[in-house]
Amino acid sequence: AGYFELDAADPRETELAYFGLIPQFIGRKLGPFLLQAAIDRAWTRPIDRLWVHTRTFDHPRALGYYQQAGFTVYARRPLRFEDPRLRGILPHTLRHPRLPPLD
């Protein structure tokens, strides 16, 4: 139904590097269960901190899920990047509610 990846490169902390549900399972209330499985797995090591980096392009409910699971906002900062449609990586016709129009 979904997946998560933990980055344990630092022996004192773990990052929830990737987390997501397959589209057909979104909205079935499976996210909190998978998130708790990721948290439980991360804390099987003797770490001081578990953290996650989320961004505007993630699912609109992602930040709320993380906060409900006990994560707190540590920092907010704008992240700017070149639109991949302008570089030909994605088609110019691609539309998404969180992407500005290319007029």
**Within a domain: 63:** yes
Q: Look at residue 2 in the predicted model and tell me its pLDDT.
A: 95
* CATH code of the domain covering residue 41: 3.40.630.30
Q: Look at residue 16 in the predicted model and tell me its pLDDT.
A: 97
- Reading the chain (103 residues) residue by residue, the pLDDT tens digits are 999 999 999 999 999 999 999 989 988 989 999 999 999 999 999 999 999 998 877 778 889 889 999 999 998 887 777 888 888 888 888 887 777 888 7
Q: How many domains does the chain have?
A: 1
- Structure-token pair, residue 39: 């948290």
**Within a domain: 38:** yes
Q: Look at residue 17 in the predicted model and tell me its pLDDT.
A: 96
Range of the domain at 41: 2-68
Q: Look at residue 90 in the predicted model and tell me its pLDDT.
A: 86
Q: 75 exposed, middle or buried (CB, 10 Å; 0-12, 13-18, 19+)?
A: exposed
**Within a domain: 26:** yes
